Amino acid sequence: MKVAVVDYGSGNLHSAHKALERAAREAGLDATIAVTADAGETRAADRIVLPGVGAFADCREGLRAVPGMLEALRAAVLERGRPFLGVCVGMQLLATRGLEHGETQGLDWIGGEVAALEPDDESLRIPHMGWNTLQPEGGVHPLLGGIPLGENGLHAYFVHSYAFRPTEPQAVAASADYGGKFAAMIARDNIAGVQFHPEKSQALGLRLLANFLKWTP
């Protein structure tokens, strides 16, 4: 199994690479994890991870600037149905548009917009930084299988000021709470994205990555 972690100048690439290697090893999977900015390698991969750290517009421009990468992602994910995981801003880029410092067009793979978090408790600081449990929405998605969820479940690590608001509520696979519910995970068909950082989320993150490596949507 070949897994491409897309390098477009934005993301926790080393940590994501190491976490995926560990998840594969602990799950007994024969997987080659490659951090790559090569469109051909990405197009040929069996699974694709799109990380992202920073502002929506900067990440969108960085992805556009990699020769052939947008076309490779569309071919692999939308046409060939390869399992895809977006992380943090990598998830947000799936939206129709982002509203951080103006309006920026996203990939529009899952309809919706990325808008500022607006907690109903004024004492809660932005960005949201810290550990939260996950609440499944509409059943447990395969990427969350075997992970203790809910109020007494495992915790995921978040660092963000904006959240994905999908057009269709059923696209939300899990939510978290920070002065109000927000989308912690979105999913449709072979596409999934998480607002939190699996590579920093210890037991929960490793289990989710192992599930992704075994996922057959």
- Reported confidence tier of residue 144, pLDDT bands at 50, 70, 90: very high
Percentage of residues of the chain with pLDDT beyond 90 = 96
Give me the mean pLDDT over the 81-110 stretch.
96
pLDDT digits (tens, 9 = 90+) for 62-81: 999 999 999 999 999 999 99
**pLDDT at residue 12 in the model:** 80
Q: Mean pLDDT score of the chain, rounded to an integer?
A: 96
- Reported confidence tier of residue 85, pLDDT bands at 50, 70, 90: very high
Whole-angstrom distance, CA of residue 132 vs CA of residue 193: 17
Percentage of residues of the chain with pLDDT beyond 70 = 100
- Reported confidence tier of residue 185, pLDDT bands at 50, 70, 90: very high
**pLDDT at residue 101 in the model:** 87
- Is the per-residue pLDDT at 11 higher than 90? no
- Reported confidence tier of residue 177, pLDDT bands at 50, 70, 90: very high
For the annotated catalytic residues, the residue numbers are 88, 197, 199
**pLDDT at residue 99 in the model:** 96
- Is the per-residue pLDDT at 204 higher than 90? yes
